[in-house]
Amino acid sequence: MDPADTIDAFASDADGAALNIPPLPVAQLSASDADRESDVSIKKRKRVRTGCFTCRDRHLKCDEALGQCQNCRKSGRLCRRGVRLNFVDTQVVAPPTCVTPPAGTGVTFRDDSRIIASEYVGGFERYPPPEQDAPVEDVRQTSIPVQPGINPFLNTQYQISRHGCLDDPTELSLLQVFVNQIGPWMDIVDEAKHFTRILPLYAVEQPLLRAVMAACVELYVSIHLFKEASERMRHYDAAALMLSECIASPHRDPSLCATAALIIEIAEMLILGPIESGMRIRAGNSARSLIRDCQWTTRTQGLGGTCSWLSILMELFDCIAFRQTVVWDPDTWGIDMGFVVEPSIAGNEEFWMQRIIYICAKVSDLRSSNLKGIGNSTRYAEAQRLEQWSLYNEWCARWLDSIPRSMLPLGNVQPWQRNPQSVFPQVWLLGRSAIVAQMLYHITRIMLLETDPLQQDHLPELQEEQQRHAYSVCGIVSNDKNNGIPVFSAHLLAVAAGYLVDRKAQEEVVAILDQLRRTSGLSTEHIRDKLRETWGWHSHAHQSFPDTVDTSTVSIGIHTSDHGHEFSQVGITDPFTYSLVETHQYLDHHLIYDQSHQSL
C-alpha cells in the first residue's frame, strides 16, 4: 500500500469527515517507548539553578560559558555570577536590644549579621549604628530614674537592695538626722542631691558610709546637747579607724573612700569649728587626694562632681579667711561666664551657686597674689591686675543681675525697724543655696574693694561700701530664720566681722557668736578672741592695741585652743595617720596633727 494512501485513509473516511482516533494506551507501547516517555516527564519537573544572574532575570537559558555567557556577550550586558541567598526576613531595622552580660561572666556574644551584610552592595549602610543599652542590673536594682553616673560604687560588693532597711533604732535616728539636717547643706551645689537622696540608700548596705554618717550626726547632735568630748568622739573614732583600714586595703574602692573622707571632713569642722587649713589633721588633704585618685573634677557627672564642688567650697572658706591660694585651679572648673541666661523666678540655683564660688575663688587668688607681689610689681603687672579686677567686678554685677528671684532676699528690714533694735539689717533668704551664695557674694565684694588698684582715689566711698557688705553678711547670720550648720555661718561671719570698724557693731558680732555657742554648742571662743585682737580691743594680758583697723592686713587666724575638742582625750591622736603613714601615699606628713597646739 502506498504510504500516502494510508495517511489519507487515517485522516478521513469516504465522506471526507475527520476521524477522532484515540491514542494507543501505554500498555500497547513498546518497552523502549515507555522508558523514553517517563524520562521526558522527569526532566520537565527538574529546575536548573545554574547560570548567570543576568540570564535568570531575563528568563533565558544560559549556556554557562566561562567568563561571559553567549547571551550576555551578544547583548552587551554584565554577566553577573555568584551564589544568591534568599532570606525569609528582609527587614533592616535595629536589633531589639544589646544585652550586656553581668560583670564577671566569661561568656561573650558576637553578632556577625552586620559583617555578613557588609559583603553585599549597600549592606552596611542600610543598618543604623548600634546603640549600647543601659546595664540590665541597674534597672532591676532600683525603681527611681537613674541618671548617668548615679551608681558611684561600682567596685564595691554592696549594691542597692530593694528590700534592705535599717532595723536598729539608733542607726535609724542617726541616718534621719543626717538626711534632714546635715545632708541638705552638703548638697547646696548639687542638683541631684546625692547626700540626701542617693547616698542614704547605699548607707543601708554599706557599713563605712553608715559609720561616717553616724559619726557626723553624733558630733552635730552632741554639740547641741553639750556632751563631753569623749562621748562626742565615740562614733568618730570608729568611723575614722574603719576609713583608715579601707584606705590601706589594696582592694579599696576609691570612690567610696573619697566620699567617706569628705563626710569625715565635715565632721571635723563640727569638732573644731573653722580652723586654719594648714593646721588640719585630717581629711582635708586626704579627701582632696582621694578625689584626685578617682580622677573626679567639677566636670564629672554624678557623685564625682558633687564631691569635687564640696571639697572646693570647704577649701575656699579657709583660703578666704587666711589669704591663701586655692589649690583647685579655678580655670580648670569649666565654668561658663557668658551670662546668656535670662533672669527667672526660680531654678538652676546650684548652677548660679557654682558661678559665685568660681568668682569668689578668682578674687581670693587675686588678693593672695597682690600680697605676694607687693614691693616688686612692675607697670605691666599693675595694668594686668587692674584688668583682672575690672573683669571680676563686672562678673559680680552681672551675677547679681542674672540670678533667679529665688536667690534674692525675700525680706530686708532696716536696723532701725527691727525689734529689738540691731545694728545690722534683718535679711531673710529662701533656700540654703541662696543663703550661702549671698554671703559669698558680699564676701567677694569686700575682697574686691580691698584689692581695688585705684582705691586711693575714692577711699571714703570704698570704705563705706565695704562696711555695707560686711553688715549684710552679719545680718544674714543674725537672722535665726536662716537655719543651717553653725560652722558655715560662723566661718563667713568671722571673715566679714574682721572689717567692721564701729564698736557697737563689733559688740553685736560678739553677741551673735555667743548666741551661736549657746544654741548650737559650737566653740566660738577662739573666733571671738582673734576678732578682739583684730579690732584692737585690749587683750587678756592688758596690752593696748590701736583703735583703727587696717583692712589690708586683716586675717582671721584661728587655732584649736579649746581643750574640750582635743584628740588626745580619745585615744587616737590622728586616725588618718594611725599606723598608716608608711603604707599609703596620701597619708603623708602634712596630715599629722601639730601636738604643740594642744597645749595652748
Per-residue pLDDT of 259-305, as tens digits, reads 999 998 888 877 666 544 344 444 456 788 899 889 999 999 899 99
Q: Which residues contact 586 (CB under 8 A, 6 or more apart)?
A: 247, 285, 286, 289, 290, 293
Q: Which residues contact 218 (CB under 8 A, 6 or more apart)?
A: 174, 232, 234, 235, 236
Q: What average pLDDT does range 341-363 have in this prediction?
A: 88
Q: What average pLDDT does range 571-600 have in this prediction?
A: 33
Instruction: Quickly state the pLDDT bin for 364 (edges 50, 70, 90).
Output: very high
533-538 long-range CB contacts below 8 Å, 24 or more apart? 534/498, 535/500, 535/506, 537/506
d(CA 143, CA 141): 7
pLDDT of 546: 40
pLDDT of 44: 54
Contact 479, 426 (CB under 8 A): yes
Instruction: Quickly state the pLDDT bin for 336 (edges 50, 70, 90).
Output: confident
pLDDT tens figures, 387-406: 999 999 999 999 999 999 99
pTM of the predicted protein model: 0.65
Query: What sections of 22-135 are H helices per DSSP?
Result: 31-45, 53-58, 70-75, 113-117
pLDDT of 375: 52
pLDDT of 361: 96
pLDDT of 555: 40
Least confident of 26-30, 195-199, 444-448: 26-30
pLDDT of 346: 81
Q: Which domains does the chain have, with CATH numbers?
A: 47-94 (4.10.240.10), 153-334+566-600 (no CATH), 351-559 (no CATH)
Q: What average pLDDT does range 71-98 have in this prediction?
A: 75
Q: How many CB atoms lie within 10 A of CB 532?
A: 16
Give me the chain's average pLDDT, please: 74
Q: How many CB atoms lie within 10 A of CB 455?
A: 15
CA 453 to chain centre: 38
Helix, strand, or coil here: 547?
Answer: coil
pLDDT at 30 over 90: no
pLDDT at 46 over 70: no
Tell me the CA distances in angstroms from 366 to 19, 78, 310, one per residue in order.
Answer: 125, 78, 22
Contact 424, 505 (CB under 8 A): yes
Instruction: Quickly state the pLDDT bin for 341 (edges 50, 70, 90).
Output: low
DSSP 12: B
pLDDT at 253 over 60: yes
Which has the closest alpha carbon to 386: 362, 366, 416?
366
pLDDT at 539 over 90: no
d(CA 235, CA 200): 17
Which has the closest alpha carbon to 422: 460, 472, 462?
472
pLDDT of 200: 93
DSSP 410: S
pLDDT tens figures, 98-116: 556 555 555 555 666 666 7
Contact 373, 386 (CB under 8 A): no
pLDDT of 475: 92
Q: How many CA atoms lie within 13 A of 164 on its CB side?
A: 13
- The residue that leads in pLDDT, 590 or 529, is 529
pLDDT of 310: 92
Least confident of 77-86, 298-307, 514-523: 514-523
Q: How many CB atoms lie within 10 A of CB 1?
A: 6
pLDDT tens figures, 131-154: 555 544 443 344 444 444 455 664
d(CA 407, CA 401): 11
